[in-house]
Amino acid sequence: MGEKKPRGNGKIEKLLVGKDAKQRARTKCKEIVKEVKAKRAMRGMAAGAESTPDYKFTLIHDLVTFTVSLSALAENDDGMLMVDVVVVDEFGKKRQFSSPVHILNPPIMVPDGTTYQEADEDGNMRTLANFVENPTLALQMVLEQAVRAQL
């Protein structure tokens, strides 16, 4: 058991201070889109090449490996991400998938693998996870849930 790690040190977290819920959601969407586009650019892709599915990850469902590719990503003024994904099984067959995935107020934090203990209001000790800012991994985790729900 470790200690509670301080929050609010992430790049995006600092941008959220003093904003209302809708402004925080909009800011997170905007920053996630920027980060994904920057990663595409670092891979040699043009930052505006929305139709090229170069951001991808694999997941295993019912003993079949699937590749999930992000083919388009956009945000709206309500703090919602719209993500188009393509799901292909290990045999190259494209799977039917309801796209785009809409993510309202997307997460930016993921567990960092460490925990700490804290007493609740009754004095009972409980174990809680520490989190770290990683919006790209948080987006992947949400998309994995969405894809698994439709497979």
- Domain segments of the chain as ranges: 11-106+140-150
Structure confidence by residue, pLDDT tens digits, 71-85: 888 999 899 999 999
- From the list 25, 35, 2, 20, the residue with the least C-alpha distance to 130 is 2
Q: Is 115 left (phi over 0), alpha (psi -120 to 50) or beta?
A: beta
Structure confidence by residue, pLDDT tens digits, 11-28: 999 999 999 999 999 999
Q: What is the pLDDT of residue 102?
A: 93
Indicate whether 47 pLDDT > 60.
Answer: no
* Residue 19 phi, psi (nearest 5): -105, 155
Q: Output the pTM of the full model.
A: 0.81
| Rounded Cα gap, residues 102 and 146, in angstroms | 10
Taking the chain, what is the end-to-end CA distance rounded to the nearest angstrom? 37
| Rounded Cα gap, residues 42 and 7, in angstroms | 28
| Rounded Cα gap, residues 62 and 104, in angstroms | 28
Q: How far is CA 74 from CA 8, 131, 141, in A?
A: 25, 26, 18
